[in-house]
Each structure stands twice: as structure tokens, then as C-alpha cells.
Structure 1
Amino acid sequence: MFRHPPLHRIIARLAALVTALVLLTAAPTLVGAPAQAREDTGTSTRTASKLPVRFGVATLNLKKGMRVAGMRHDIGRVLDGDASVIGFQERLFSRKALRASLPKSWTLLMPHGPTGTDDNPIAFDKDVWKLEKTWSALLTGKTWRRQSGQVAHDQYGVVAVLRHRRTGHTIRAVSFHLPNHLHNRRTGGPNYGNLAGVQAMWRMASRIRDLENGARPAHQFVAMCDCNVTENRDLTDDLVKGRITKPLRLETNYSGRKGGSGIDYVMAERGSEFRIDSFEMYRRLVTDHPGIVATFRRAR
């Protein structure tokens, strides 16, 4: 004769079955796994969420008259350094050629309005950054003379507000080119023999400060320039260190420390979630300046 199991055994089996079903529903990948494996899985998830995020910003002075092949070569060199934003200097009447020199995923932002001595465009990788806002900025008017003795035309820059697609970090970027022969390397201060150039530099520095001060607190100000001032000989408060980097609390790659031209810089606001962690200088270019790529990493 068949006998039913005692009621307490039936209840115990049902409780065990319910417990197993709950475990399978809550964590199917962990049931039956050793304790060490479960611990490792949790650790790897936490580690992945804390992986450092970085991005590269480059400054590249391209000689006037460069053809597409030369620009494409030089741009490719700084792209080797993982640059996703490039600030150009000394580009004039070159919108079509410069666009043709960039990868397909990149966007070129050229200043609108009158073409000046230096139209300082910015290019960025659309796969990395989303453009939130852009506008042209007059950096200085007809203020200084070059070697030809002619009064220079107005200089324009373009301002780009870019949001990083992965992190949401937003930068306000601008590229600019300071006048030639404004630095007295013997005294470390202004070259008052080129007073018009020095005064133009001061006005441009004021304009850069206005652009930084107008940025939202959550937006990091980033500048790329051919500053025409050697970093390790800039000894006064009347040039780049005193008029731009010091009052705006900008850190920079300070390319002069590793030789080279020592006048091309990437600058960034210090009080930000991301800081300049390192930089590379790229030589053997068609242009007569090295390409500088500064790597930004999340501050610890």
C-alpha cells in the first residue's frame, strides 16, 4: 500500500523548491558558482565602472599654402596621438582644402564673416563629441605690423562648445594665434620694439579672458595656440603666463620643457573634472611647427 510522506516533509521540499526558484530568478549567472567566482564578478563590474576615461586635444599650426596631401599627413600624425579635437592656426582661404584633409567622421568649424590674417578653425570627431554651440569671435582688429610692414587684417577665431558623448564632460574650446616678435627673449618680457604687436597681444589676452569668464561653471575652458612666446623664457606678468594662464588658472603642456619650438600650447582650466595628464610632441611634419597632443584624464 502506498503511503503519503509526512506533511512536514512535503512542506520542507516545497520551501527548498521556492528558494531555488528565487535564486535562479535573482542571479541566474551566479547560482552554483563558487564564492570566489561570484566575488570576482562583482569586483570586475566595479572595476569596469571606474576605468579611467581620457581624450586628446591637439594644436597644429599649418603653414599658409599647404596642399591637401601635406595637411592630411600632418593631421594624421596628431591623430596617432588619439586627438579628437584639433585647434588650427594660420589657415586662410582654405576651408575646402582643410575639410578634404580630415577623416570623414570629423567636422570642421571655420569662422564666419570677413576673412582675416589668421582664421583659427577647430575640428572635432563627431563620434567622440557632440556640438552644442559654436560662434565666431573677433580676437583682435588691425593692430600690428608684420615683417612686410603692412597692417594686419582682423583675426577671427571660432568658439566650440563640445560635449563628450561617453562622459558628458563639456568643454568650451578656442584656437588663436598671437602676434610675431612680441617676446624679448633676453629680458623675458615684452618686445617694446614691436609695441603694436605687444598691445595686440594684450587685447587678445583680454578677449580670451572674456571667453573663459563667459563659460558656464560646469564647462571646462580649453585653448590651443601658437603663442609665439617660449615658455621657459616667459619671465614677466606681461605675456602669456601673466595675461592668460595665471589669471585664468590654466594649466598647459609647456612644450618648451622638451625642446622644439616651445611656442605651441594646449591650455585647460585647472578646476575641472579632467586635467592634462601628459602630452606628446609630433615632429617630421610638412609644416614648420611640431604638433602638440595633450591627453586629458579624469582627476583623482
Structure 2
Amino acid sequence: MFSTPVLPRALVRPTVLAVLAALLLAGLALGGAPAQAGDKGDKGDKERKRAYASGERFAVATLNLKKGMRVAGMRHDIGQVLDGEASVIGFQERLFSRPALRAALPKSWTLLMPKGPTGTDDNPIAFDKDVWELRKTWAALLTGTTWRRQTGQIAHDQYGVVAVLRHRQTGHTIRAVSFHLPNHLHNRRTGGPNYANRGGVQAMWRMASRVRFLKEDAPKPQQFVAMCDCNVTENRDTGDHLVKGRITRPLRLETNYTGRKGGSGIDYVMGERDSAFRIHSFLSYRNLVTDHPGIVATFARAR
């Protein structure tokens, strides 16, 4: 039988110390790994910011405002879409004071809110002056007659706000329009128009015709971009009589409308495909004060 040798106590202590030292060194090495991962994350973040700063990418957002929102709520929601690097925002349903919305924007931003008949300032556009240069803006009459199904009354005229913006770094020019389609347009069971609200459906057709004109009237170098509360459920629009058939398909627009599977969103950013910049990705912000998601579309230079 072999017996287990007993080591002198003097030899045990150095061995234990050596093991502890090895474990300590291993712990330091493991502790350094997250720092390397963080470095990679920082590098990716720097690359992303460089792409936006150079103009290789830009982002456009749409944000529907809830009636009665105050400065704090609007500032919170605008801050969310700014986290997505948005430098242009199309608002819908601006139903509170002009000073409140202006106060909710960063200092480097300009708010385009035309004055005129009722409705001209419902769908303003805001943009970052450090990124874009304003070339032209106006309020486009989209339809002179709509019909409110809830009351049976004629609503005021519906306008879209249009802005021609030139990117300061690249010279790329967009013709952006923010607009809001009538409510109760969509029969979610059939996927087609809700003919119980025929007046609203016909108003939408007139508005879609004007939106198509705004795109077709744009000079070739201008990329058409639209921000819309379209009031049509994205994944159930199956015919040729609503947004897909009247706006996105005939104008060859790419959008989160067709790019995101599932869900029931009605808020869209649309971009012309035939351009030096194409839509690269979408972000949807839902933890907002308003009752709509904020949609941010990132445009990247086409390869």
C-alpha cells in the first residue's frame, strides 16, 4: 500500500500563495474583457456619429402630438426621436400653442408653421439648422372638403406643410411633406375602404392625388420624403384604394409601411427609392406621452 506523502508546512504556504496569485491574475484578465467590448461599442458609436456628421446618413421622424400636450410632454417625446438621430421631424395634429411647440425644440432647430387659414399649421415640420439649409417652404392645400363621421359636419380644409431642405454637408436636397389623412378610412375586415365613411374616403383620394402631384412636381435632384399619420392599419391595407394603392405604390416609395411585419401602426415615414439615399432602417418609439409611436427612418447613401 502506498501512503500519501505529507509535505512540510513550509512548502505548503508558497504553493497556496502561488495559486492565489494565479487566480488574482486570471480575475484581472477577465475583468479586462468587458473594457475591450466597451471599446468596440464606443468605436461603433463613433462611426455612427461620424456617418451622421458627414452626411453619409440622415434620419427623418414622424410624430403625432396628442391634443393638449404641454411643453414638458412634447420635450420628452421630441427627445426620444432625437435619440434616433432625427434631424427632420414632421408633426401632425398640432393643437396647442405655437410658443409651446417652439419651446419644446432644441435651440438649433427651426419650426416651419405657416400662417394662413385654419388648418395651415396643423402639420408643421421642424429641422436642425446645423444639418439642413431651408430653400423653400409652403402650406399645400390637399383637400377643401372633408367630412367628420362622428358629427356629420364639414371639417376645415386639410393642408400639408412642405419644406425643401438642402443638406449642408452633402448638398443632398429633399422635398419633405407632413400631412394627416382623415379618420375611419379603413375597413379592417376587408382590407379596403370603409364606405360607411364615404366622404372621408373620397377626401383621402383627393389628398392622395395632391400628394402625388407634390412628388411629381419636384425637380429631379430633390428626393421626395413624406411623414404621415395615415389612419390606415399597415398590415391590413390589401387593396388599391388606400395608402398602398394611391400613394406608396404609384410613387415608388419605400416605407416602414411595408418594411415592418406585424403590428397595426398608422404612422409612416416614406422615401423615394430613386435617389442617392435609400431608407436603411426604422426605429419605433412607443414609451411616449402622446398616444402614437414616434417613427424614425434612417437614410443611408446607396451603394
Could you give the per-residue CA deviations for residues 115-158 of structure 1, whole angstroms, max 9, x where no partner exists? Answer: 22971100000000000111111121232114233321112221
Paired residues of 2:137 and 2:164 also in contact (CA < 8 A): yes
Alignment-derived partner of residue 237 in structure 1 = 240
AA paired with 2:241? D
1:120 to 123, 136, 139: 123
Paired residues of 2:67 and 2:96 also in contact (CA < 8 A): no
Paired residues of 1:89 and 1:118 also in contact (CA < 8 A): no
Worse-matched range after superposition: 139-148 or 54-63: 139-148
Paired residues of 2:119 and 2:156 also in contact (CA < 8 A): yes
Paired residues of 2:55 and 2:169 also in contact (CA < 8 A): no
Alignment-derived partner of residue 109 in structure 2 = 106
Q: Please give the root-mean-square deviation of Cα atoms over the aligned residues, in Å.
A: 1.8
TM-superposed deviation, 1:214: 0.8
TM-superposed deviation, 1:93: 4.8
Q: Which runs of 5+ in 1 are unaligned?
A: 1-47
Alignment-derived partner of residue 9 in structure 1 = none
Alignment-derived partner of residue 59 in structure 1 = 62
Paired residues of 1:281 and 1:290 also in contact (CA < 8 A): yes
Query: How many residue pairs are counted as aligned between the two chains?
Result: 251
Alignment-derived partner of residue 272 in structure 1 = 275
AA paired with 1:89? Q
Does residue 286 of structure 1 match 2:293? no
Residues 287 and 220 of structure 1, relative CA distance in 2, 3 Å threshold: same
Paired residues of 1:175 and 1:225 also in contact (CA < 8 A): yes
2:159 and 2:109 map into 1 onto residues whose CA distance is 21
Could you give the per-residue CA deviations for residues 77-118 of structure 1, whole angstroms, max 9, x where no partner exists? Answer: 000000000000001353211101100000000122112297
Paired residues of 1:227 and 1:264 also in contact (CA < 8 A): yes
2:67 and 2:90 map into 1 onto residues whose CA distance is 15
1:274 and 1:296 map into 2 onto residues whose CA distance is 6
AA paired with 2:209? S
Alignment-derived partner of residue 4 in structure 2 = none
Paired residues of 1:118 and 1:155 also in contact (CA < 8 A): no
2:285 and 2:262 map into 1 onto residues whose CA distance is 12
Paired residues of 1:64 and 1:90 also in contact (CA < 8 A): yes
Alignment-derived partner of residue 20 in structure 1 = none
2:137 to 134, 137, 158: 134
TM-superposed deviation, 1:71: 0.5
Alignment-derived partner of residue 221 in structure 1 = 224
Paired residues of 1:111 and 1:157 also in contact (CA < 8 A): no
- Partner of 1:144, secondary structure, is strand
AA paired with 1:109? L
1:96 to 76, 82, 99: 99
1:181 and 1:117 map into 2 onto residues whose CA distance is 22
1:212 and 1:121 map into 2 onto residues whose CA distance is 18
TM-score, scaled to structure 1: 0.80
Residues 89 and 52 of structure 1, relative CA distance in 2, 3 Å threshold: closer
- Partner of 2:153, secondary structure, is coil
Residues 148 and 65 of structure 1, relative CA distance in 2, 3 Å threshold: farther
Residues 241 and 255 of structure 1, relative CA distance in 2, 3 Å threshold: closer
Alignment-derived partner of residue 297 in structure 1 = 300
Paired residues of 2:148 and 2:154 also in contact (CA < 8 A): yes
